[in-house]
Amino acid sequence: MEGTNASHRRPYQPLEQELVDCDKTNYGCEGGYMDYAFEWIINNGRIDTESDYPYTGVDGTCNTTKEERKIVTIDGYEDVAEEESALLCAVVNQPVSVGIDGSALDFQLYTGVS
């Protein structure tokens, strides 16, 4: 979503905290699935920017009383087949989201580039 926003020459706006607090199909700060996040945004009709819903870095209570400005919306998404040619076709048309399973020991024990 942030990549699509940028491709339309709009300023970068992080979108994380509202998903952390409000998307109960995912796991807050423990992570989740982008498909579930996309579905939450579609069903909710929008997601707010960081200036409207500031990032705190902790699981919080969903703030349902804030102003809803519908800054970022999506109307759909598609999963890309697990083939290099399909990825190349997709990335020509729009930004592509990639999920990484961070539970592997390689990620858990990573301390940075040496």
Domains and CATH numbers, the chain: 2-77 (3.90.70.10)
Residue with tokens 């759909």: 76
Q: Is the pLDDT of residue 4 over 80?
A: no
Mean pLDDT of the chain: 84
Q: Is the pLDDT of residue 58 over 90?
A: yes
Q: Tell me the pLDDT band of 39, cut-offs 50, 70 and 90.
A: very high
Provide, rounded to the nearest whole percent, the portion of the chain with pLDDT above 90.
36
More confident residue, 112 or 89: 89
pTM (2 decimals)?
Answer: 0.77
More confident residue, 61 or 95: 61
